[in-house]
Structure 1
Amino acid sequence: MSYEKEESIAIQACLQAAKLTERVRSKIPKAIEKIDNSPVTLADFGSQALICYHIHSAFPDDPIVAEENPKELLKPERAGDLKQIVDYVKEDNKDVDEKKLIEWIGYGNGRVSERFWTLDPIDGTKGFIRQDQYAIALALIVDGDVKVGVMACPAYGNDGGLLFYAVRGKGSYTQSITSYDTTIPTRIHIVANNDQNTFRFTESVESCHGDQTKQNEIAKRIGIQTPPIRMDSQVKYGLVANGEAVLYFRFPNPHRQDYRENIWDHAAGTIIVEEAGGKVTDMDGKPLNFRDNEKMLHNRGVIVSNGIIHDQVLEVLKS
């Protein structure tokens, strides 16, 4: 399959969501604390509503596995938040009301299947709140393989943000978010770089999201002497795909060894890096499993590389 329609719908949905999230981000975003104590903003729900609406309208038989649950907005104390999200979404879709908004967000509560979409409406919510990096990440998965990936990164660079997208077998591309309709896409290739003095690696800002001590030790053992680039969200995949970093580590936190990654935190970034010539595996060298569950239960940690030094990293880990 060419997946041309899927790619086009996914790109337009993410671009529209990016406009909404930036409208919210221009104000001080109000964070809602979820049951698991992680933050969620009005923009998370608005982004999920818009994207799920577009995907469901074009592909009504495709389940969508997304991060947010509309039940958060059905609590009596959230009535004001619900109305405010409707007002944001109305700027892009005049027909929305509170009932439709809840329905659209709920489209994202599908299950992993033979063919499905996975969505993180705002990956890196803490970065979003800090006015820093975040990504809107959407991917189509068929038989466990990511076929289409789109990442809108509105805070990336100095020109209104960057859109990354890829289709399996057709390469990875970038375009400006703000001038998407008037610019030509740029195909990205990871260029071989043998100068270890310029090697950089990237990791999460949040120390609880990984094992920064171990990640820094592995980086030093393979010759990386420069400090890591720390940022939120799957934008880190974009750094590797763009050649700004040679590695992205996400090792299990030593205090949370039983933690497993969510598929929506890695699916879109994975295909973008792989189609640019890089490599993505877990710490044991296994491909990331997007087939069985919304959690990657059979993977331990994540290693994203330019492809050239991947085997070296795995060998150092074994030792």
Structure 2
Amino acid sequence: MSNEENIPYVVTGKSYTAVAINCAAKAGEWIKTRLGQFTSLNIKSSAADLVTEVDKGAEIMIRKLIMTHFPHHEILGEESVDPGREASAQALQEAKEAEYLWIVDPIDGTTNFVHGLPFFSVSIALAHKGEVIVGVIYDPMRDELFVAEKGKGAYVHGKRMRAAKDPALSDSLVATGFPTEHDEALPNNLATIAALAPQVRNIRTIGSAALSMAYVADGRLTGFYEWNLNAWDMAAGSLLITESGGRVTDIDGNPYHLGVRDVAASNGAIHESLLNVLRDAVPQR
């Protein structure tokens, strides 16, 4: 083990990262107490795109905490944006010029939460002039906090994370999801699952893009991809992965930025092979 990995990870009390951790932990603990006890369930863009009063309450809680510390920062939160690709793109366009932009998904994995399946997370990122500099993903059911700071590495349980060492697709465990947009994104994902399944060790669908990306960062998954995601699904996870030695791009191999919707993330070693399979399976994008 290198000396770098022996150095304890310390977050100073007034830092951006400390605020992100505090927000994620407080919201996550409250969300955990509401599992199976939500009172309202609404459909957004499709029957698979759900929201409860817990999502909305958690976002309000996070917003208030952030604004207490950084009243001049901007916040882009999932539950403050109308459903659909166009509304998401417009909201990002309006917010991305902010010097400091917090990007919040109060519950990533709402469908799991609604059904009592304990795989969901709180995702909070901070971008400075469009570049993600802090990423925090908190899994309240397992009390796992994944944290990354730009240039300082990524950590879980205070220990440095490293992407998986799997050298080839045949050694890889890859995750994806089933998009809520059924006209194009869902057929794309189904086509790629059929193409990829014979070439990898296996495929998983966890139901939380943020948690999937955290698992790529920690080497539990070799890769993850999905169509039609939003900035709040990926921003924190993108930094976790790159700070763990992995790679995040769009499906065409271009570097990740906040406007990416069709994402591929991996340990780096399998990245080009993964992209080739995805592009071959869906040549018209």
Pairwise same-fold verdict (TM > 0.5):
yes
**Which structure 2 residues correspond to residues 1-319 of structure 1 after superposition, within 5 A?**
5-25=15-35, 27-34=36-43, 36-37=45-46, 38-69=49-80, 111-112=95-96, 113-132=98-117, 133-155=119-141, 160-175=142-157, 185-194=158-167, 198-205=171-178, 208=182, 210=186, 211-220=188-197, 223-226=199-202, 228-233=203-208, 234-251=210-227, 260-290=228-258, 296=259, 299=260, 301-319=262-280
Give SS of 2:79's match: coil
Change (3 A) 1:194 1:138: same
Superposed displacement of residue 187, structure 1:
1.1
**Alignment check: 8 A CA contact 1:277 1:306 kept:** yes
Report which of the two structures shows the higher radius of gyration computed on alpha carbons: 1
RMSD, aligned CA: 2.6
The aligned amino acid for 2:55 is D
Change (3 A) 1:63 1:308: same
TM-score normalised over the length of structure 2? 0.79
Q: Which runs of 5+ in 2 are unaligned?
A: 1-10, 83-93, 281-285
**Alignment check: 8 A CA contact 1:283 1:300 kept:** no
Q: Which residue of 2 aligns with 1:77?
A: none
C-alpha separation in 2, matches of 1:231 and 1:205: 10
Change (3 A) 1:318 1:15: closer
Superposed displacement of residue 143, structure 1:
1.8
Superposed displacement of residue 70, structure 1:
9.9
**Alignment check: 8 A CA contact 1:201 1:219 kept:** no
TM-score normalised over the length of structure 1? 0.71
Superposed displacement of residue 215, structure 1:
2.3
The aligned amino acid for 1:14 is A
How high is the sequence identity, in percent, across the aligned residues?
A: 27
C-alpha separation in 1, matches of 2:172 and 2:154: 22
**Alignment check: 8 A CA contact 2:247 2:265 kept:** yes
Superposed displacement of residue 265, structure 1:
1.1
Q: Which runs of 5+ in 1 are unaligned?
A: 72-109, 176-184, 252-259, 291-295
C-alpha separation in 1, matches of 2:53 and 2:207: 19
Change (3 A) 1:128 1:278: same
Superposed displacement of residue 40, structure 1:
1.3
C-alpha separation in 2, matches of 1:206 and 1:286: 21
C-alpha separation in 2, matches of 1:128 and 1:193: 31
Q: Tell me the matched-pair count.
A: 249
C-alpha separation in 1, matches of 2:39 and 2:178: 21
C-alpha separation in 2, matches of 1:70 and 1:248: 25
Give SS of 1:164's match: strand
